[in-house]
């Protein structure tokens, strides 16, 4: 007969190793928030393509955007890509549609710490929104080139996720109009109800707090009354993955709106993303 204590120790060791492998496989399937900025970076030589549907309703204005985004992993910590949108805007009785502002972006993960079943990381991101939108009224694009600089932190485990990010959007001038810069703040929590393996479907539920603080615009040096202010949203979402394919979806629900002048507050926003990487 074998030694019961040794047998028990061996079984516990095997269980521990299996658990560690399961935890590691879960961390390898990195996630990012639906609306906020996360530190996830595509692996070296990887290619990711995603199709995005974004809709916004604010008063009489309704914006719909369908975008194709492509990302390439330059190194294991640096990725870059392009997003090409098609936009349809309805404002009152007027409608306009066409190609929106093309966006070029890059992200560099400058810090990463791995532990048993846990990964923490931080990244800096830069995005340029080019003045390429179709003309006409209502306006499809912004009519200027904008720059977005962001800093993101993420914590991922087999059960819990958390992210925090801040972004500064430098809105370009449109003629004599200084459109006012914007600060975006995101705090996100995630929960995986059931740990799963790489070959199994995986679901993570998300809850985000998204804030947008915009400086007043100026026209010819004078302050524009109907501009600037802040809006805050609570945003439930889901991230569902199967191997190298994923579906992200979420809804932004306004909880505070403090806009200056006669600006229409956001009623709601929705985002659906279908993505795959190879």
We report the CATH number of the domain holding residue 262 as 2.40.160.40
Q: What's the token pair of residue 179?
A: 């459109």
Lowest mean pLDDT among 2-6, 180-184, 196-200: 2-6
- Note the pLDDT of residue 9: 47
Average pLDDT over residues 248-255: 98
Comparing 26-40, 100-114, 169-183, 207-221, which segment has the lowest mean pLDDT?
26-40
Tell me the CB-side half-sphere exposure of residue 254, using CA atoms within 13 A. 16
Is the pLDDT at 31 greater than 50? The verdict is: yes
Average pLDDT on 200-210 reads: 96
CA–CA gap between residue 131 and residue 144 (Å, rounded) = 5
User: Cα separation of 61 and 88, whole Å?
Assistant: 11
Instruction: Output the pLDDT for position 21.
Output: 42
pLDDT band for 2, please (50, 70, 90 cuts).
low
| Domains identified in the chain, total number | 1
Contact 85, 100 (CB under 8 A): yes
The mean predicted confidence, pLDDT, of the chain is 90
Q: What's the confidence (pLDDT) of residue 13?
A: 45
Measure the CA–CA gap between 232 and 266, rounded to whole angstroms: 10
- 5 burial level (CB within 10 Å; 0-12, 13-18, 19+): exposed
Q: Which pLDDT does position 37 carry in this prediction?
A: 98
Are 164 and 190 in contact by the 8 Å Cβ rule? The answer is no
Sequence-ordered list of residues with C-beta below 8 angstroms from that of 17, at least 6 positions apart, any chain: none
Query: What is the SS3 string spanning 59-106?
Result: CCEEEEEEEEEEEEEEECCEEEEEEEEEEEEEECCEEEEEECCCEEEE
Task: Give pLDDT, residue 23.
Answer: 41
pLDDT at 5: 47
Mean of the pLDDT values across residues 58-68? 96
What is the reported pLDDT for 137? 86
Q: What pLDDT, on the 0 to 100 scale, is given for residue 66?
A: 98
pLDDT in tens, 98-144: 999 999 999 999 999 999 989 999 999 999 999 998 878 888 989 99
pLDDT band of 93, cuts 50, 70, 90: confident
Q: Which element (helix H / strand E) includes 120?
A: strand 118-129
What is the token pair recorded at 9? 């120790």
Domain that holds residue 242: 4-277
**What's residue 17's pLDDT?**
43
Percent above pLDDT 70 for the chain? 89
% of the chain exceeding 90 in pLDDT: 82
Look up residue 243 and give its two tokens.
């191997």
- Percentages helix, strand, coil for the chain (3-state, rounded to 5) are 10, 60, 30
Rounded distance, CA 205 to CA 192, Å?
6
Whether residue 197 is predicted with pLDDT greater than 90 in this model: the reply is no
Q: Report the C-alpha gap between 218 and 116 in whole angstroms.
A: 52
pLDDT at 198: 74
Q: What is the pLDDT of residue 274?
A: 98
pLDDT value, residue 250? 98
DSSP string for 122-152? EEEEEEEE-S----SSS-SS-SS-EEEEEEE
Average pLDDT over residues 172-178: 94
pLDDT of residue 135: 76
Distance CA 241, CA 199 (A): 10
Q: How far apart are the C-alpha atoms of 132 and 146, rounded to whole Å? A: 11
Query: Among candidates 235, 126, 129, which has minimal Cα distance to 189?
Result: 235
């Amino acid at each position: 007969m074998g030694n019961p204590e040794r047998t028990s120790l061996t079984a516990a060791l095997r269980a521990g190793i299996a658990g560690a492998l399961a935890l590691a496989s879960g961390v390898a399937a990195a996630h990012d928030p639906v609306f906020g900025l996360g530190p996830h970076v595509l692996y070296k030589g990887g290619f990711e393509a995603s199709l995005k549907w974004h809709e916004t309703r604010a008063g009489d204005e309704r914006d719909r955007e369908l975008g194709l985004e492509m990302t390439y992993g330059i190194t294991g910590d640096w990725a870059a890509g392009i997003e090409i949108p098609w936009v349809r805007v309805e404002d009152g009785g007027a409608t306009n549609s066409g190609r929106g502002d093309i966006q070029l972006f890059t992200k560099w993960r400058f810090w990463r710490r791995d532990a048993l079943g846990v990964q923490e990381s931080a990244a800096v991101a830069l995005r340029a929104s080019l003045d390429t939108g179709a003309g006409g009224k209502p306006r499809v694009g912004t009519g200027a080139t904008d720059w977005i600089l962001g800093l993101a932190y993420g914590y991922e485990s087999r059960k819990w996720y958390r992210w925090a990010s801040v972004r500064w959007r430098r809105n370009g001038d449109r003629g004599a109009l200084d459109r006012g810069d914007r600060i975006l703040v995101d705090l996100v929590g995630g929960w995986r109800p059931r740990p799963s393996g790489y070959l199994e479907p995986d679901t993570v539920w998300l809850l985000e707090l998204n804030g947008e603080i915009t400086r007043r615009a100026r026209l010819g040096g004078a302050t524009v009354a109907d501009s600037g202010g802040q809006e805050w949203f609570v945003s439930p979402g889901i991230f569902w993955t199967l191997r190298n394919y994923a579906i992200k979806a979420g809804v932004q629900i306004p909880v505070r709106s403090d806009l200056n002048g006669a600006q229409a507050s956001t009623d709601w926003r929705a985002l659906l993303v279908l993505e795959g990487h190879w």
